[in-house]
Amino acid sequence: VADGYKVVSLHWQSDGSIVERDFLSGFLGGEKLLGRPVDIAEASDGTIFISDDYSGSIYRITARDAGGAAVSSLTMPQRQGGAEESGLASYTPEQRRSLAELGKSAYQNNACSSCHALDLSGSSASAVPLVGLAERYTVAELASFFTAPTPPMPVFPLNAADREALAVYLLARP
Ligand code: HEC
């Protein structure tokens, strides 16, 4: 089962135990992924900002007098995800095809599918779907993601050519 996808707050009790409460949730609506909180920052006035790299948003959370919180979403400009912007257009169709071919075997050889699904249909609930990547990464960004993946994804012993090929493979999918 996909886990995480929410922000929790930890409350230290007088007896030393810690109670966890949902702070911001609702990113995972059943099978549908709505967002993925990645980082949190607090301003000096107590306003909390939470970034979401799935929807490309930053949530601003301000305390209200009644004790509730107001959440507003500052949506970042989305990439169109076109070949132009992703950097795919800098390859000839022939290069793109052979890189995608290489990337596909790197994907298979490294058992990426043990944790990932390439689409949302029929994927097991435990797989992290690799979807909408073109809206969020260029070839260069995705290639560099593999040098320092977000935990718990492990680092793979991939060379620069493998990383580029994997990025092209994942971004060039229809
Ligand atoms: C042990 C499980 C595991 C394996 C194996 C694995 N990953 Fe991941 N990967 C993850 C997890 C978990 C995340 C999500 C991290 C997060 O929540 O941001 C992730 C994230 C990603 C992302 C970013 C997805 C996004 O939406 O931003 C890409 C791309 C990716 N993996 C590609 C690969 C490729 C290619 C391979 C094979 C070389 C691979 N992964 C192997 C667990 C794995």
Domains in the chain: boundaries: 7-75, 83-171
Contact predicate 139/87, CB 8 Å: yes
pLDDT on residue 141: 94
pTM comes to: 0.64
| Residue that has been written with the tokens 């900002």 in this structure | 49
**Nearest-5° angle of CA 123, CA 76, CA 87?**
70
What number does the ligand 1 atom closest to the CA of 156 have? 38
pLDDT in tens, 74-123: 665 556 656 667 889 899 999 999 999 999 999 999 999 999 988 877 65
pLDDT on residue 69: 67
If one compares 161 and 30, the residue with the highest pLDDT of the two is 161
- Ligand 1 centroid to residue 58 C-alpha, Å: 22
Contact predicate 26/33, CB 8 Å: no
pLDDT on residue 112: 94
The answer on pLDDT for 58 being more than 60 is yes
pLDDT in tens, 122-146: 656 778 889 889 888 999 999 999 9
Structural tokens at position 38: 């990645």
- Compute the average pLDDT of residues 140-163: 93
Give the residue, by CA position, lying nearest to ligand 1 atom 20: 153
Query: Which residues form the pocket of ligand 1, taking CB atoms under 6 Å from any ligand atom?
Result: 36, 107, 110-112, 114-116, 128, 130, 133, 142, 145, 149-150, 152-154, 156, 166, 170
pLDDT on residue 55: 75
pLDDT on residue 106: 96
| Residue that has been written with the tokens 């948003």 in this structure | 57
- How far apart CA 37 and CA 23 sit, in angstroms, is 12
pLDDT on residue 41: 85
Structural tokens at position 166: 């994997």
Q: At what angle do helices 93-109 and 160-171 cross, to 10 degrees?
A: 110
Percentage of the chain with pLDDT > 70?
A: 82
If one compares 167 and 84, the residue with the highest pLDDT of the two is 167
Ligand 1 pocket test target in 137, 153, 162 with most atoms within 8 Å of CB: 153
pLDDT on residue 33: 74
b/e burial code for range 112-125 (CB count within 10 A of at least 16 → b): beeeebbeeeebee
- Compute the average pLDDT of residues 148-153: 90
Element (H, E) at 71: strand 69-75
pLDDT on residue 128: 87
If one compares 100 and 23, the residue with the highest pLDDT of the two is 100
